[in-house]
Structures are given as C-alpha cells and as structure tokens.
Amino acid sequence: MSFKPNASYDFSDAVVVITGAAAGIGQQVAEQFAAAGATLALIDRSESIVDIASNLGAVHRGWIADISDPESVATTANKILSQFGHVDILVNNAGIGPLAPAEDFPLETWDKTMAVNLRGAFLVARAFAPNMLARGQGRIVNLALEWGPRGVTVNAISPTVVETELGLTGWAGEKGERARAAIPTRRFAKPAEIACAIMYVASREAAMVNGANLLIDGGYTII
C-alpha cells in the first residue's frame, strides 16, 4: 500500500529543528517540512545528515551531534541559533531501539537507550526552549504542559510499529504477522503518515493542542 501525503501546510516562515533526521521517520518529516517551505536545521549522529540537508535545498543545514551529551547539544543549539536567529519548531524524533532478549540485554545498551530516547529529548528541548519562550511562541513535539501559558505548546506522537528499517527488522516474520493481525487496520504505519501527524501538531492550526498524546496505532489501544 502506497501513501502520498497531500495535506497542505505553509511553513515558509518557520525554522524547524529535527533530531534523528538521517533516516526513517525523521527523514520523512524533514522532506515534508521542506516541501511545505520550512527552513530546516537537521541533527543526527550520522555524518550523512550534512548531505541530506543540502540535498533538500540550499537554505537547509545539517549538524552532527550526540543528543545524549549535554555539551554536544548546547554547542549544536548555539550554532543553529547563530545561523538562523531563532527556532519555531522542534521535532524530538531521535531514538534508538537495540534488539535483544531482556535476559541478555547489556546494561550499558539499556543506559544508552535511556540516554538518547529520554535524556536526549529533554536536553534538546531545554536547549531551544529559551529562544521560543523569549519570543512567546513555538512548537515542540514530545510532551509537557509547563510552557503552554507562554506560547510554546508541547505534544507527543505515539505510533504503532512504523515501516522503517528498524521497525521492519524488529517485527519481521511470524512475529510481525501476529502484530499486524492484532491491529484493527491490519497493517503497520507508513513513515509519511507519522510525518503528517507531526506537521499537524506543529502547525498554526494546532494552536489549541497542548499536552496531548496523539496515538497512531490503527486502533490497537481500543481493543
């Protein structure tokens, strides 16, 4: 099943930071924001992020950074703010998902997963929030209520398995077939579908959406 997004948003006056933008959902989000006119600041630990950004257009930039490292985050945020002057939207997309049975899962790998997926989102949000709060406007895609009264809304996206390289690897074979059968729509999500939801909560049209967790799971949670 193919999916081609046709939602129309205008982000021509927005600077958008996207973490984990070198592949999967993050790359799809970057492509859709670029198509909607946004100026992109892309962050990833992969060196390919520099070329990915430039291939989307001359106005975009890519930065190599480790979002679990406070110094790396602070340095990168300062460079982005120096380059663009402000940030309107932050998409905290970066995450890792090492695959191993729990009884064999190395503790250091668990710690790294928490550092990237949880600590990293906090560090990046904290790095860019002062600029948004000073301007009285902004959008962050992860989750919180604290900054809503000051014009910065924060929301989360919670998808089912997404057909990225990681998702299809982790849910291959009979395990994946069982998972699909348990979802009312009988399939996994497309990266573009997640990107469209992110664009909505980042848009002007979603100004009243704050502290929400948007489930994109084909109805799995209601059964």
Task: List, for residues 147-182, the tens digit of each pLDDT value.
Answer: 888 999 999 999 999 999 888 988 999 999 999 999
How many degrees, rounded to 5, is the angle at CA 205 between CA 203 and CA 211?
75
- At residue 143, the pLDDT reads 82
Q: Which two tokens stand for residue 124?
A: 């990046």
Angle at which helices 120-135 and 70-84 cross, to 10°: 30
Which of 195, 113, 118, 200 lies closest to 153 in space, CA to CA? 200
Alpha carbon distance 165, 167 (integer Å): 6
Split at pLDDT 50, 70, 90, the class of 48 is very high
Upper half-sphere CA count for residue 10 (Cβ side, 13 Å): 1
Split at pLDDT 50, 70, 90, the class of 100 is confident
Alpha carbon distance 81, 114 (integer Å): 27
Provide the b/e sequence for 41-70 (b: ≥16 CB within 10 Å).
bbbbbeeebbebbeebeeebbbbbbbbbbe
Cβ 140 vs Cβ 126: under 8 Å = no
Split at pLDDT 50, 70, 90, the class of 6 is low
Mean pLDDT, residues 50-69: 97
Mean pLDDT, residues 112-126: 95
This prediction's pTM: 0.92
